[in-house]
Amino acid sequence: MAEGMVAKGLQDVVVDDTWICKIIGDQGKLYYYGYSIHDLAEHCTYEEVVFLLLKGKLPNRAELDQITRELKEARGLPYGVRDVIKSAPKGSIPMDVLRTAASALALTDPKPGDDSPEGRYRKAIRMVALFPEIVAADYRFRRGEEPVASNPKLNHAANFLYLLHGKEPGADAARTMDVALVLHAEHDFNASTFTARVIAATMSDMYSAVTGAIGALKGPLHGGANEGVIKTLLEIGEPANIKPWLAEKFKDKNFRLMGFGHRVYKTLDPRAIVLKKYSEKTGRERGTTKWFEMSNEIEQIMKTREKPLYPNVDFYSASTYFMMGLPPEIYTPIFAVARVVGWCAHVIEQQTHNKLIRPAADYHGEIDKPLPPIDKR
């Protein structure tokens, strides 16, 4: 193969079969097991989506009760993991704490080597249940507060907000978080999921795969972008600054506007359509639509450029979370709280139809060079 013929970044390369998720990028469509993301966001809770992604079908009422019970029973942060979180040096990056704590979950698993289908399902439920507790414990330790115990009356999303703030959220905030979790739960072979699948394909364990995925999600070109979006909005500060700010930044051809562009979507990301509504709704509920309006104005400017760019999932999630009173450093961890189920579903799929993932590379150096002795190099 001639130099330059490689599909850089594996762009458009199909690397495996999957039954979990379908994206039609040029039409802005996204499906989990065949169900449109718009229907899922409107009609389902995160618990239903967890069941769908792990079992391949929507739960009936009895099955939903069962998985809700399983998720609640799996709550309760092990002391060892809590200590890991508490011992993080002051100023640690929250995604580093989450990655370390996720890895520590393996040490507190009663059967870490059980990779039977039941064992994998149990680990998936355990991670889904414990990720909110990890993120919230870190959030509270940083503020000099002790973690609070999960509230058995609350569903996954409402309990997450309860764990963060130590008080029951209102119905609107709980539903907004639930929708955000549904929208972020799964997205086929994105960078973090592919990372998880590569690790799983060595027949390593689910904790290792998810720990690696968290590392991939952290990057600003992936899940880290949502934190970048709010920093951008705060830096711009006022609507009047938007145009000059963008004009100045785009003088640098390497500038990347966080929350815009996507490898797969070449039109509006369907998740951004839903989150845009929640950004506006949350702004109205909180009595300030400024961040929503600024976001909308940026969207309008970007789509009328010579080379249009459209918002991705991170764009409107940032203003939504901000108006919910959540600090920027927690936005990428929230993404992980949602996506952990997608990673686990892919680990299960990979290991059920496994083939080691070991691609080839196009080498451009020399070979068979004579090896000079050390004094002659």
Nearest CA-CA partner of 328 in 315, 341, 319? 319
CB 124 within 8 A of CB 206: yes
Residue 286 interacting with ligand COA (CB under 6 A): no
Q: Shortest gap between Cβ of 266 and ligand COA (angstroms)?
A: 9
The pair of three-digit structure tokens given for residue 71, joined into one six-digit string: 């998720």
Residue 102 interacting with ligand COA (CB under 6 A): no
Residues 344, 349, 353: CA angle, nearest 5 degrees: 150
Q: For ligand COA, which residue of 29, 86, 263, 277 counts as binding (CB under 6 A)? A: 263
Q: What is the DSSP letter of 132?
A: H
Catalytic-role residue among 262, 269, 364, 375: 262
Nearest residue (beta carbon) to ligand COA: 261
Nearest CA-CA partner of 132 in 372, 359, 334, 339? 334
Residue 227 interacting with ligand COA (CB under 6 A): no
Task: Give 218 or 222: the residue with its C-beta nearer to ligand COA.
Answer: 222
Q: What is the DSSP letter of 320?
A: H
308-327 residues near ligand COA, rule: CB under 6 A: 309, 312-314
Q: Shortest gap between Cβ of 276 and ligand COA (angstroms)?
A: 15
CB 182 within 8 A of CB 155: no
Task: Give 158 or 185: the residue with its C-beta nearer to ligand COA.
Answer: 185
Segment contacting ligand COA by CB under 6 A, of 171-179, 192-200, 204-212, 306-314: 306-314
Nearest CA-CA partner of 70 in 107, 123, 115? 123
Q: Which residue, chain included where needed, has tokens 């450093």?
A: 329
Nearest CA-CA partner of 157 in 137, 182, 174, 172? 174
Segment contacting ligand COA by CB under 6 A, of 95-103, 162-170, 254-262, 276-284: 254-262
Segment contacting ligand COA by CB under 6 A, of 81-89, 116-124, 198-206, 255-263: 255-263
Question: For the residues of 9-77, what is the DSSP string, one character each?
Answer: GGTT------SSEEEETTTTEEEETTEEHHHHHHH--HHHHHHHHHHSS---HHHHHHHHHHHHHT-S-
Task: Give 12 or 366: the residue with its C-beta nearer to ligand COA.
Answer: 12
Catalytic residue flag (residue 314): yes
d(CA 351, CA 344): 11
Q: For ligand COA, which residue of 184, 262, 339, 346 counts as binding (CB under 6 A)? A: 262
Q: In the β-sheet with 21-24, what is the strand arrangement from edge to edge?
A: 21-24, 29-32, 35-36
Q: Shortest gap between Cβ of 168 and ligand COA (angstroms)?
A: 32
Segment contacting ligand COA by CB under 6 A, of 16-24, 221-229, 341-349, 351-359: 221-229
Segment contacting ligand COA by CB under 6 A, of 17-25, 208-216, 251-259, 343-351: 251-259
Q: Shortest gap between Cβ of 278 and ligand COA (angstroms)?
A: 17
Task: Give 79 or 255: the residue with its C-beta nearer to ligand COA.
Answer: 255
19-38 residues near ligand COA, rule: CB under 6 A: none
Binding site for ligand COA (CB under 6 A): 9, 221-222, 225, 255-263, 309, 312-314
